[in-house]
A and B are shown apart, each in its own frame.
Chain A
């Protein structure tokens, strides 16, 4: 049995991934390229009993080294040397798509073309002479329709035959770059060949070309391996550069691009005939765009759509989420019944089951949201949203595509930062993406809302809507301002060029949407599941240990025994009821004492002198510390801290009354607490996801920076409010 290794490559929107999905079906898996967040998609299929491994390279427009996607594509080709590159191109836009093909050929890697979207080619009145094209390019080309799977058999067969024929040999294509570039190119190739620079990886002429194009990655390698040679070459290129600027008012790399397009145009003149001039017709996409990107209708429809999407995600997600919650509640009850009372039970129930349940509770949300996102992305509407909103977000150093993560994180109150941060995947600009990830958790997510409701109910019950609205508005203002601040300080730098394709509208394939959804969900379960379990146990320990010492424990036990004795001797129902209440109170007092005694409790008390600047007493501190685990914990811990027992998030009326009566709490404290809860450290599931999407460094930065910012603002608000109110 022969094994073949193919790499699918092509521009974004060429239908590459759709073709990959049709061919490999469910036989695929997603991993990561080490150190970066670009997905590595691999799959297998068989042809005549022979196994074919396929890697789906990230979509890219060029083989330079500006984006992670391009670097990865290049690395796979050079390091792994696939038997053949199947270059998937949109056959209706050959002129631009062949730009990448030519670069594969210049590198010398064995390559063939999958002329995708052949159905569109016919309907657009384009005729492609495939024979001629194959002859001129010197490689096979097969027409396909990725969405229906048409042509995939022939494609694979041709690929395998050609891979066998080429047998892994590389034949670099030589293109003339005109009288200015060619002589230098020859000269540099000679120097590189003589010095044997990177000779086992790249052809000499290609290295020379990359030097002239100013490819950072190659130049850096050259400088390390052969500093003197590199210096000489760079000096000569500088001379050419000055010459080009003086005589032609252009750059060498622009000349190279001109000649590449010239080469492609000459090639296409022979093999492609357009019988219908494209400008004569207004195609469907243009018609849809006249409405969807209309000056007034466009933004209105977008807002409606965003709201609908949000609404669907969270209403539809509610049922499976509740199911998951009930399942884990049941599991916790079961474990509590089976296991004997004590530390092990507490660890399993409060540490493990609650922690894992908390993580898996998000799964339905993530699934629904990624179905919608995949739909918006595959249909082509996402690009239009970025196009319409870019102006607004750009002024804050963000990108038009930042809107999605913000909305999902709670830009419409009640979202969730976990899928929100994951949605930042759609941003292709690294700096803008990072700023989006760091600021999206400011949004009022669904778990912060009960805290707001509690405080609003206790202190601003007459201005409920107004306070809630200003909180959401405040979150947006803070997110955008902080993004601006970050982009002009630690994530400083030119905004990434917006130059972006507006792909034609297409109906997404069900398979594509489902695969996309499952990839993301599985990734979340895997990554978050492991880390979250560990942190969850850690937080449980902080809120449990050290337990009460023996004397205190004994005191509680003896009081309980005494009460129970009185209960057995009690005669009237009234007496019994009184003792029951006393017992319950005793349990709450013990719970409070234990919490106060624990590491988290001690930390809360220790911090009181500092946090009193923002109006928080030690009880509030403990609740806020617990909130780092999950914001839902704030209300329930506050219940324990006010010795009310575990308080249900949805029913906090008794807690509300308690807080109202507490002299430590007033309107100023409430305002300060709302601000703090809104802005402080993201919950740890979010932190894990943030680390996954950026790095642990940035995730920990968010943890400290957000908490500091929240605290400073809360103090300012508290002190200010004390003066005014």
Chain B
């Protein structure tokens, strides 16, 4: 099932299917290792539900929900 990172639940895992951001945002996202095929896990959300903390390639990064909207993922497994 495809959705944006914003709609993933806490601790849910997914694989990146496509990234629609270009320009500076696109570059930042790529430089931090978010490219097609990368597996990610939602590890936290800020107290006000935004930004979101994502684990990938052994480290954690944060992005705002409106930035996460550019990243489409497919869910890997249902949350335990």
Contact = CB atoms under 8 A, between A and B. Distances in A.
A266 B73 CA distance: 23
Contacts of A295: 47
A725 interface: no
A289 B44 contact: yes
Interface residues of B, number: 37
Interface in A212-267: 249-251, 253-254, 257-258, 261
Contacts of B46: 293, 387-388, 390-391
Contacts of B24: 66, 494, 496-497
Interface string B28-50: 11111111111001011011111
B51 A253 contact: no
Interface stretch (A93-101, A464-472, A540-548): A93-101
Interface in B5-44: 18-19, 22, 24-38, 41, 43-44
Nearest to A251: B22
A251 B26 contact: yes
A93 B59 contact: yes
B27 A253 contact: yes
Given A261-B35, A298-B47, A502 B64 contact: no
Nearest to A390: B51
A253 B19 CA distance: 12
Contacts of A99: 31, 33
A278 interface: yes
Contacts of A391: 46, 48-51
A724 interface: no
Contacts of A498: 51, 62-64, 67
B32 A254 contact: no
Contact of A499 (B29, B38, B48, B59): B29
B76 to A, nearest CB: 11
Nearest to A256: B30
Q: What does DSSP make chain B's interface, helix, strand, loop or mixed?
A: mixed
A630 to B, nearest CB: 39
A175 interface: no
Contacts of B47: 293-296, 298-299, 388
Interface in A350-398: 383, 387-388, 390-392, 394
A521 interface: no
Contacts of B30: 253-254, 257
Nearest to B49: A391
B35 A390 contact: no
A62 interface: yes
A61 interface: yes
Contact of B53 (A93, A294, A502): A502
Contacts of B34: 499
B60 A66 contact: no
Given A62-B27, A258-B36, A497-B25, A279 B59 contact: no
A482 B20 CA distance: 33
A92 B58 contact: yes
A394 B67 CA distance: 13
Contacts of B57: 93, 95-96
Given A95-B57, A261-B33, A250 B18 contact: yes
* Residue picked from A66, A96, A249, most chain B C-beta under 10 Å: A96
Contacts of A497: 24-25, 28-29, 63-64, 67
A643 B63 CA distance: 60
B58 A499 contact: no
A286 interface: yes
Contacts of B62: 383, 387, 498-502
A265 to B, nearest CB: 9
A62 B36 CA distance: 18
A64 interface: yes
A92 B46 CA distance: 25
Interface in A71-102: 92-93, 95-96, 99
A61 B64 contact: no
A496 B66 CA distance: 12
Q: Which residue, A279, A295, A497, has most C-beta atoms of chain B within 10 A?
A: A497
Contact of A96 (B18, B48, B59): B59
A387 B57 CA distance: 20
Interface in A491-549: 494, 496-504
Given A390-B46, A498-B62, 10 more contacts: A61-B32, A93-B57, A93-B58, A99-B33, A254-B30, A257-B30, A261-B33, A497-B63, A501-B62, A502-B60
Interface of A: 61-62, 64, 66, 92-93, 95-96, 99, 249-251, 253-254, 257-258, 261, 278-279, 285-286, 289, 293-296, 298-299, 383, 387-388, 390-392, 394, 494, 496-504
Q: 4 closest pairs, A vs B, by CB?
A: A257-B30, A391-B48, A61-B31, A62-B31
20 contacts: A62-B27, A62-B31, A64-B31, A93-B58, A250-B19, A253-B26, A254-B36, A257-B30, A257-B35, A279-B41, A286-B43, A293-B46, A295-B47, A387-B62, A391-B48, A391-B50, A392-B48, A497-B63, A498-B51, A501-B62
Interface of B: 18-19, 22, 24-38, 41, 43-44, 46-51, 53, 57-64, 67
